[in-house]
Amino acid sequence: MIWNGSARDPLWYKDAIIYEVPVKSFMDGNADGVGDFLGLSEKLDYLQDLGVTCIWLLPFFPSPLKDDGYDIADYRSIHASYGTLEDLKSFLTAAHARRLQVVIELVLNHTSDQHPWFQRARLAPPNSPERDYYVWSDTDQRYAAARTIFVDTERSNWAWDPVAQAYYWHRFFQHQPDLNYDNPAVVKEMLEILDFWLELGVDGFRLDAVPYLVEREGTNCENLPETHAIIKAVRRHIEDTATSRMLLAEANQWPADVRAYFGDSDECHMAYHFPLMPRIFMALHLEDRQPIVEIMEQTPTIPEDCQWALFLRNHDELTLEMVTDDERDYMYLAYSADPQARLNVGIRRRLAPLVGNDRRRIELLTGLLFSFPGTPVIYYGDEIGMGDNLYLGDRNGVRTPMQWTGDRNGGFSRADPARLYSPIIMDPVYGYQAVSVEAQESDTASLLYWMRNMIRLRKQFKVFGRGTMEFLQPTNQKVLAYIRRYRDDVILCAVNLSRSVQPVELDLSAFAGLVPVEMLGYTEFPPIGTAPYFLTLGPYGFYWFELQHSRS
Amino acid sequence: MASIGSNSSIQEAEVNVTHADIVVAIAAYNDVRTVGAVARAVRDGLAKFFGSHEARILLADAGSTDGTLEAARCAVGDMGLIELTYQRPAAMSGVLYHGHPGRAEALRAIVQTAHRLNAKACALVDASLHSAAPAWIERLIAPVLTDGFDYVSPYYVRHAHEGLITKGIVYPMFRALYGVRLRQPAAQEFGCSARLVSHYLEQNFWDRDQTSVGVDLWLAVAAATGGFGLCEAALGVRQPASRETPADLSTTLAQIVGALFMDLEDRVDVWQRTRGSAAVPIVGAGPEIGPDGASLNLERLIESFRLGYRELREIWTWVLPPRTIVDLRKLSEAPLERFQFDDRLWAGIIYDFAFGYNLRVMPPDHLLRSLTPLYTGWMASFILQVRNATSSQVEERVEQVCLAFEAQKRYLISRWRWPERLR
């Protein structure tokens, strides 16, 4: 039995524009104060008009919600607050009818401690099949070389379970015990869960925390060959049972280490480029292209059918794990003057507040996101410049209700405001009365209109998702210039990272005779000759040019 | 391997045929008056020009109740028919400007059958014609079998005032967008190669809404944008026998233009990269025809335009920029003898409507129907200019319209690239 995916092109993810959305935060369809699938389905027209092509849903499974749903208690059902399985099926059908693909979370590494597997395991005798679903130890000294990830809350990767009278392994919160992938029964369970969602028609899976599946003594327990073997098994299973599906690795690692998650096109189809994101912000603040160029030069080539997932912001903190100590210090100083903004090893802010609500800087960053080699991921609300709330704990400040209108609860819910799962943003700059979809839909100069146009434009050129990239080396370090190529398309992108007007001379002699046509307005510029090509870029300005053959 | 799509279900009355070099399909629906003559023309054409090939005639009937099937069987005699029945829509909403309900399903079934039979060449002829002749079969099939073309588009001789939607909108826009000078790209007859048949099966338009309205045009677009060899075949005069009460102008225009616009979004990576246009070879020559003497009430057409300007100007401002509205006001004030629709203005208007349609600035049918008075204005202007012209002079005039569409294409691309809503 082969389950066909909704996309005709098996490489659909290479041209996709992904929209990341927590179900609870988007739209409340039943007035209980929590977003749900009914509400999400109501807003599919909005997403279609925005132009995104793929919806990535954060975890929506039954869960104690101690880690916003990444602590799953049942992989085959829906959290009651978000609706029913029928609601999800209706949502999937409606999304596919609009040619929107849907990606969900597959949290392989761990479950909630409330999952029946864990409850069964802790009650079962040592070395029993039930106990063997998780990683147990009589001591908390094993795997000592593995770092603690949530340094703000966890002291160790081991936690004592008084019922089992043993320590269990957890790379994240202690209420999230790691599954034991040395046990074939666990792998089998996970493949069956995969089948459940494949059959329902889900188009892709984000493999959360994928580097940590297997543990080995004497290692840092990350990126181990045994972990890659598990991913290969998952991929093989998908290839055998379904078409047009995608696996996206969440591996917050250096590019060279992430490369392994693509395998030889036999592991994940996509992986996030984590180190690029902080360097884009750093380059903007430094007004110097060097951090971006450096990390891109360290980025290995990946198989033809694989793809980087690029993002500016997401539901987590702006992670600074993949930067040097000096770079981290710089980023903290540049982007989190308020210590409240810091969490773990990162900065918990949305896009607009990070850049001081400067529209030009938001546009420039989005221009980079859309023109770099990979598939862009937009975090819900960033298309209207939503703000955050630093006074909510953990990362909840960037997970507030979507701001639809200037009405009660921002149009998110008809519930009593006190029932909302989270307070809505209400400050005078980013509050729902100042920033909302409704207001921006009535303003053709709004960020929302601009985003729609940019998404529309990007979708017209496969070169952005599929093409190669070469950096130019102008002497002005404040200008980032690069060439994207795919088939007959040659695109020149020039970006001014600074707050002031910048001149730049580009060596385009390799393209002598071609005519740059500015892509947004389809305006012809003077033809390229052998002399350096001179451009002037406004503050935080950027140009995209198609290099066309002369009409004559 | 080509997908045949999940909605497809063909049943063949005669299932033991596994191969044919040539497949000629007849699409029929209550055509008892004409289907016999069409079937005989097909049979005779195959016998006369392709006697050494293994050829089959398909009949794709949309559920006729008037004896069409029996008439067709009788006409082909011993040669026999492959009779296709297929999933048809239960009901149709409104009158189609051409074809019949379920035409898309018929075409899909035909293409699938041609693919299954490994036919080297396939042609389609509508059953409602008085004018089908054996020579048509040669002209639609021979370019594929002997000259290596993939798509053969018919070229019918028409009087100056006939096929004006094609002359004023479909041909110029098709040519400007896709770079191919197919003069009648939404015709109901065509020939195609096995390679193109496979390509058709991979297209995503089969399951669209309104497929029966647009499928003929989309097949031509798919051929023009897929890197295939195209040519035209001069078939002379096309004389259809009307199946239904003809659709009114507004409906016809909305259906044809809507089909043209609907395809733009999916083909954007092709048409925005296509520059200029190239003529395609034409097989054979049609008869030269003179002015037909038919007179249209130009005053009425112009008055319809003026009324539209008064009543629909508010709607137009959703898609047309202020300068165009001003130009239209001036035109509405012009007397008949000086009533001339500028070609660039006309091309710009069509592009603005195309853009507005794809941006969904208002319900598509409302938008498309509001084009009707503008079209009547253009039609009046065109007829004024060609009323005493020869065929070649009419062609020259159409060529000027096409050049305006090509020149204005940059305007369309710029609006498409970075949409600016007018209201």
Task: Considering only the beta carbons, identify the residue of A488, A489, A522 that sits closest to B417.
Answer: A522
Residues B254, B348: one domain?
no
Say if residue B270 is exposed, middle or buried (CB neighbours under 10 Å; 0-12, 13-18, 19+): middle
Residues A248, A149: one domain?
no
DSSP-assigned letters across all residues of B236-255: E---BPP-SSPPPHHHHHHH
pLDDT category of residue B102 using cuts at 50, 70 and 90: confident
Residues B223, B343: one domain?
no
Q: How many CB pairs under 8 A join A and B?
A: 33
Residues contacting residue A339 through CB under 8 Å, at least 6 positions apart: none
* Residue B4 pLDDT greater than 50, yes or no: no
Tell if the CB–CB gap between B418 and A521 is shorter than 8 Å.
Answer: yes
With respect to residue B292, please indicate whether it lies within any of the assigned structural domains: no
DSSP-assigned letters across all residues of B389-413: --HHHHHHHHHHHHHHHHHTHHHHH
| Structure-block tokens of residue B269 | 């990576």
Tell if the CB–CB gap between A449 and B410 is shorter than 8 Å.
Answer: no
Give the three-class secondary structure for A358: coil
Domain that holds residue B267: 10-283
Q: What count of residues does chain A have?
A: 552
Q: Which chain A residues contact residue B416 at CB under 8 A?
A: 460
With respect to residue A4, please indicate whether it lies within any of the assigned structural domains: no
Residues A418, A531: one domain?
no
User: Residue B334 — φ and ψ, nearest 5°?
Assistant: -75, 140
pLDDT category of residue B248 using cuts at 50, 70 and 90: confident
Q: Count how many domains chain A has.
A: 3
> Which residues of A form the catalytic set?
208, 250
Say if residue A300 is exposed, middle or buried (CB neighbours under 10 Å; 0-12, 13-18, 19+): exposed
- Residue-wise pLDDT for A281-339, tens only, equals 999 999 999 999 999 999 999 999 999 999 999 888 777 777 788 888 887 888 877 77
Torsional class of A351: left (φ above 0), alpha (ψ -120 to 50), beta (otherwise): alpha
Q: How far apart are CA A480 and CA A497, in angstroms?
A: 7
Residues A206, A312: one domain?
yes
Residues contacting residue A314 through CB under 8 Å, at least 6 positions apart: A20, A377, A379
Q: What is the residue type of B408?
A: Q
Residues A331, A423: one domain?
yes
- Enter the DSSP assignment of A3: B
Residues A363, A321: one domain?
yes
With respect to residue B288, please indicate whether it lies within any of the assigned structural domains: no
> Which residue in chain A is spatially nearest to B268 when comparing CA positions?
A460
User: Residue A518 — φ and ψ, nearest 5°?
Assistant: -60, 130
Residue A53 sits at the vertex; the CA angle it makes with A50 and A57, to the nearest 5 degrees, is 95
Q: Could you give the maximum distance between any two Cα atoms of chain B, in Å?
A: 67
Residues B265, B303: one domain?
no
pLDDT category of residue B422 using cuts at 50, 70 and 90: confident
pLDDT category of residue B93 using cuts at 50, 70 and 90: very low
Q: Which chain A residues contact residue B272 at CB under 8 A?
A: 460
**Mean of per-residue pLDDT scores for chain B:** 89
Domain that holds residue A129: 116-169
The arithmetic mean of pLDDT across residues B85-91, rounded, is: 64
pLDDT at A109: 97
pLDDT at B8: 44
CA distance B418 to chain A (A): 5
pTM for the model: 0.89
Q: Which parts of chain A have pLDDT scores under 70?
A: 345, 552
| Structure-block tokens of residue B260 | 């043209």
Q: Count how many domains chain B has.
A: 2
DSSP E strands in A16-76: the ranges are 18-21, 54-57
pLDDT at B97: 53
Looking up tokens 């080699």 gives A373
Q: How far apart are CA A412 and CA A172, in angstroms?
A: 31
* Residue B368 pLDDT greater than 70, yes or no: yes
Q: What CATH number does the domain containing A146 carry?
A: 3.90.400.10
Q: What CATH number does the domain containing A332 carry?
A: 3.20.20.80
* Residue B249 pLDDT greater than 60, yes or no: yes
pLDDT at B6: 36
* Residue B290 pLDDT greater than 70, yes or no: no
Residue A422, H or E segment: none
- Residue-wise pLDDT for B324-353, tens only, equals 999 999 999 999 989 999 999 999 999 999
With respect to residue B198, please indicate whether it lies within any of the assigned structural domains: yes
The torsion of the CA quartet B381, B382, B386, B387, rounded to 10 degrees, works out to -60
Cross-strand pairs, A137 = A167
**Are the C-beta atoms of B127 and B34 separated by less than 8 Å?**
yes
Tell if the CB–CB gap between A460 and B421 is shorter than 8 Å.
Answer: no
* Residue B3 pLDDT greater than 50, yes or no: no
Residues A124, A104: one domain?
no
Closest CA to B149 of B171, B123, B128: B123
Closest CA to B18 of B140, B119, B128: B119
Q: How far apart are CA B137 and CA A408, in angstroms?
A: 69
Residues B352, B262: one domain?
no
* Residue B92 pLDDT greater than 90, yes or no: no
